[in-house]
Structure 1
Amino acid sequence: MELTAASKKVVVFDYGFGNVRSAERALARTGAEVEITRDFDRAMNADGLLVPGVGAFAACMKGLREARGDWIIDRRLSGGRPVMGICVGMQILFARGIEHGVETAGLDEWPGAVEPLQAEIVPHMGWNTVEAPAGSRLFAGLEPEARFYFVHSYAVQDWSFDVQNPAMQPPTVTWSTHGKPFVAAVENGPLWATQFHPEKSGDAGAQLLTNWIGTL
């Protein structure tokens, strides 16, 4: 598969939670210049910041705050600088996560709660299709039957985004289904995120990352 994204500098933020090497390889395939680091200045000055995440919501939030990742993400978004979250790196962008009855505050970039999947089989592990809305930039050029790789037991399943200012555009939300529909991806100005792992999703994931790099 030939990829066409122009070379950009991307930092994979290393706060101890996430498949940083897999993300590095997948981003390098797009033609991006990729660095794994938690260095504040490098993370702030990169064209794009990718925030991976694997494990428990509370542990990821603790690690992110200890690495000042919460502050970096907030500062980047305040300046319109692109950030992309993957898996738990997406979940922590919401207001809160609820695991084993314990509620943990997230970054609150989006309202909503990350809760246990309502399905007979958990975790949701394997390939699944998504329902991307018309006009999605993240899924541009991908066929509706494209499949992506998921590994998760929690997700945002009930979400509505009330935009108070008519001049503001609501997020572009992509859904998938495992037992019950859940949020699979969000595009919201400079902040994009996926519940699935594009770095493990073959050519479809590579095209999706190329689409993101192309917006930087």
Structure 2
Amino acid sequence: MNTLTATWQWLTSAAHWSGEDGIWNRLGEHLFLTVVCLLLSCAIALPVALVLGHLGKGGALAVNLSNIGRAVPTFAVLVLLLLSPLGPYGPWPTVIALVLFAVPPLLTNAYVGMRGVDADVVRAARGMGMTGRQTLFRVELPLALPLLLTGVRVAAVQLVATATVAALAGGGGLGRIITAGFNLASTPQVVAGAVLVALFALVVEALFEGAQRLGPAWARGSGG
């Protein structure tokens, strides 16, 4: 029996979809971890990017620093956090490592989107008597939103693909299927876990793309 056939049989076995170690449960854990890390990343990166983009100061430095941090492998960050005093605190090392991984695309896209707003439009808004806060939320943010949402989509897909590292720290998610496969020397299970992660990432990408296409024109960056 070749690997592809064995992998298909593993995926289509009802026993592998139910229970604590089943695919549905692991998928739910993976989704929960992804959503939590994405929300935390947005809460950290987006306010910084919007303010720096609005002020036009310090943003390039922040983006460059975040991109330098992105060059550090998530697995290496996770190992260091596990060896730090945070190690015993459950999922926090994994969450912090994933948040650090997701911040750069969010920060970069939001900042670039803000700086890409037509300066004449901003000057016109100020000429109409808008305050800095009003200009930010009524003019700059709506115009920067398409690129900002692209950053959210990229971060979400990357988190889905990278959240498998949670299994290395004893966490849940689809990565547990892969690590269990390695422990059992079961190539079909390892391949099945990798296929599930890849399919989940594609579904998330498709959902974000569909939502943006079906959303309002301003979310698509279209004038019509």
The answer to which structure, 1 or 2, has the higher relative contact order (CA under 8 A, 6+ apart) is: 2
Higher strand share: 1
**TM class, shorter-length:** under 0.3
Higher helix share: 2
TM-score with structure 1 setting the length: 0.25
